[in-house]
Amino acid sequence: MSNKDLDPYTAKAENNNLTLQEKVDGLRKIVKSVKAGMLTTRSPNGALHSRAMVPAGLSLSPSQVTLCFIANRVSGKFDEIGNDAHVNVSFYDESSTNWASYAGIAKISQDKEKIEKHWSSTTAAWFGDLGDGIHKGDQHDPRVALIEVVPSEIRYWIATQGAVGRVVNIATSAIMGNAAAPGELRTITQDEIKLVHGLESK
């Protein structure tokens, strides 16, 4: 038997008939509604560490698929990214059951223009003013750095039915012995991500 025969849920839920912009629009809808994602990094001993972080600058481009986070460069995640730049960022919307998973490479930057572009007044709350005239908790603070996650692949699931419809779909499928699929699995491939980046740079 093929994998599709053995995994009927995936075979039923996958939708590969969308345009790239349709897939990007669906992804951005999830990320913007959830707001905070879980950034996962790997420590030198192989342990995976996750923490909630809010992406910055999501409204800058309607085709944006990279994620940017402003963070304190003396925190442990920077050491872990320096050791292994492969990261994952995941989002989950409990109300709709939509989710998204980014697999990619994290790049660290202290480019002043990029930081200014992504800075917001609430970001200062995560740094604090240390009172030494240097570490002021503003965008010029030497602790401030940007983590840019450049995805190599993005997978997400988006509900195509409301809450009641999802319950009925799952219950009916269980009774009938069928695979439930109250939503769609979508993949934005590495080649598609490169195409989006090419469009953004024009």
Q: How many domains does the chain have?
A: 1
* Residue 136, domain extent: 4-201
If phi > 0 it is left, if psi is from -120 to 50 it is alpha, else beta; for residue 146 that is beta
Question: Residue 105 in contact with residue 86, Cβ under 8 Å?
Answer: yes
Distance CA 90, CA 145 (A): 21
**CATH code for position 52:** 2.30.110.10
Burial code of 74-104, b = ≥16 C-beta within 10 A, e = fewer?
eeebbebbeeebebbbbbbbeebebbbbbbb
Paired with 107 in beta bridges are 148
Per-residue pLDDT of the chain (202 residues; tens, 9 = 90+): 555 555 655 666 677 889 999 999 999 999 999 989 999 999 999 999 999 999 987 765 777 899 999 999 999 999 999 999 999 999 999 989 999 999 999 999 999 999 999 898 888 888 999 999 999 999 999 999 999 999 999 999 998 744 444 444 444 544 454 544 568 999 999 999 999 887 665 5
What does the angle CA 99 – CA 158 – CA 167 come to, to the nearest 5 degrees? 100
Q: DSSP letters of 50-100?
A: EEEE--S-TTS-TT---EEEEEETTSHHHHHHHH--EEEEEEEETTTTEEE
> pTM for the complete prediction?
0.83
